[in-house]
C-alpha cells in the first residue's frame, strides 16, 4: 500500500514524525509536508508564487519532500508530480490541537485530507487535543489501530474522515465515538495592542466553546474523552434549500 503522510504543522513536527513511523508497517510511506508551520491556512493553495519542493532527510534515514506551500499544495503536488503512483491512502497529522467544531473549516490538516478526497483518494485527518504534555507516540498508535480497522472494512468509497484524539495526559481515551461536527468554535476575542511605532494591532485569542449538554457532536465527545471519528463532505451545497430557492423564480 502507498501512503502519503502530510500535515500542517511542518515537516519536522513531532506529530508527523510519530504518525509516519507508526504507518511504516502498513506500506510505503511518502512524506510530502509543508516546510514551515501552516496551521489555520485552511484550503489555501499557491497561485501567485512558485511551490518549491526540497528533498529532505527526515533524520532517521528516510527522505521526504519539504514544500514551500500549503497543506493542500502538498497533496496536489504529491498526487500529480512527486509520487510515481497514486497514493492508496492519505494521512494528515497528527496535528497539535483538536480540529473539531468549526475549526475544521480553518484547519490545514483537514484541508489536506479533503484535497485528497477531491482526487478520490481515501484520507484521514488526525489531530490530538493540546495539553501541557502531549504523547504523539500513543496518539499515533491509537490512530494506527483505527486505520487498520478501517482498512479491514475497505477504504473504497469512504468519505474523508476527521479523527480527533482527546488529551491523553488524563489517561487513555474511554472509547471511540462516531460523531457529527459541532458548530462550536472559539469564544474569540481580539487583544488590541500598540506596536513600538504607536500603531494599533490586533491578536486573536480565545477559549474553546463548550457544547451544551445533550448535544451529540465531536466537541462534546472529545470533552468526554472519546476519540472522535467524523465523516466529512466537501459538497458545500445546501441541497435541502435548492427547491425553496428555485421556487423564488429569480429572474434577470
Distance from chain centroid for Cα 147: 15
What dihedral angle (degrees, nearest 10) is formed by the CA atoms of 210, 212, 214, 218?
-30
Among 39, 92, 103, 164, binds Mn ion (CB under 5 A): 39
We find the least distance from the C-beta atom of residue 50 to Mn ion, in angstroms, to be 23
- With beta carbons less than 8 A apart as the criterion, state whether 182 and 101 touch: yes
We find the least distance from the C-beta atom of residue 39 to Mn ion, in angstroms, to be 3
- Lookup: cell for 237: 451545497
Name the closest residue to Mn ion (Cβ): 39
Residue 214: CA atoms inside 13 Å, Cβ hemisphere, count? 0
From the list 4-12, 154-162, 168-176, 236-244, the region that binds Mn ion by CB under 5 A is 4-12
* 8 or 115: CB nearest Mn ion: 8
Cα 35 to Cα 9: distance, rounded to the nearest angstrom: 9
159 Cβ neighbours under 8 A, 6+ residues apart: 117, 231, 232, 233
We find the least distance from the C-beta atom of residue 96 to Mn ion, in angstroms, to be 6
- Rg, C-alpha atoms of the chain: 19
We find the least distance from the C-beta atom of residue 131 to Mn ion, in angstroms, to be 15
Residues between 215 and 234 with contacts to Mn ion, criterion CB under 5 A: none
Q: Could you say whether residue 181 binds Mn ion (CB under 5 A)?
A: no
Q: What is the x/- site pattern for Mn ion, positions 126-165, by CB under 5 A?
A: ----------------------------------------
Distance from chain centroid for Cα 15: 12
Among 21, 30, 95, 217, binds Mn ion (CB under 5 A): 95
Give me the residues that bind Mn ion (CB under 5 A), please.
8-9, 39, 95
Amino acid at each position: 500500500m502507498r501512503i502519503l503522510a502530510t500535515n500542517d504543522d511542518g515537516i519536522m513536527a513531532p506529530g508527523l514524525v510519530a504518525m509516519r513511523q507508526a504507518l511504516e508497517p502498513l506500506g510505503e510511506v511518502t512524506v510530502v509536508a509543508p516546510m514551515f508551520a501552516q496551521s489555520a491556512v485552511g484550503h489555501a493553495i499557491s497561485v501567485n508564487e512558485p511551490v518549491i519542493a526540497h528533498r529532505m532527510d527526515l533524520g532517521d534515514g528516510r527522505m521526504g519532500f519539504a514544500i514551500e506551500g500549503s497543506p493542500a499544495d502538498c497533496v496536489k503536488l504529491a498526487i500529480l508530480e512527486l509520487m510515481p503512483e497514486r497514493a492508496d491512502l492519505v494521512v494528515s497529522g497528527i496535528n497539535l490541537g483538536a480540529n473539531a467544531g468549526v475549526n475544521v473549516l480553518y484547519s490545514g490538516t483537514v484541508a489536506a485530507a479533503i484535497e485528497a478526497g477531491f482526487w478520490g483518494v481515501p484520507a484521514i485527518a488526525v489531530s490530538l487535543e493540546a495539553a501541557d504534555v502531549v504523547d504523539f507516540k500513543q496518539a499515533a498508535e491509537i490512530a494506527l489501530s483505527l486505520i487498520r480497522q478501517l482498512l479491514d472494512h475497505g477504504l473504497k468509497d469512504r468519505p474523508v474522515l476527521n479523527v480527533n484524539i482527546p488529551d491523553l495526559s488524563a489517561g487513555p481515551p474511554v472509547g471511540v465515538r462516531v460523531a457529527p461536527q459541532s458548530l462550536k468554535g472559539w469564544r474569540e476575542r481580539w487583544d488590541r495592542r500598540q506596536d513600538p511605532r504607536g500603531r494599533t494591532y490586533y491578536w486573536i485569542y480565545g477559549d474553546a466553546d463548550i457544547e451544551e449538554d445533550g448535544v451529540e457532536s465531536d466537541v462534546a465527545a472529545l470533552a468526554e474523552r472519546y476519540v472522535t471519528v467524523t465523516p466529512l463532505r466537501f459538497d458545500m451545497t445546501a441541497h435541502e434549500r435548492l427547491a425553496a430557492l428555485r421556487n423564488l423564480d429569480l429572474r434577470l
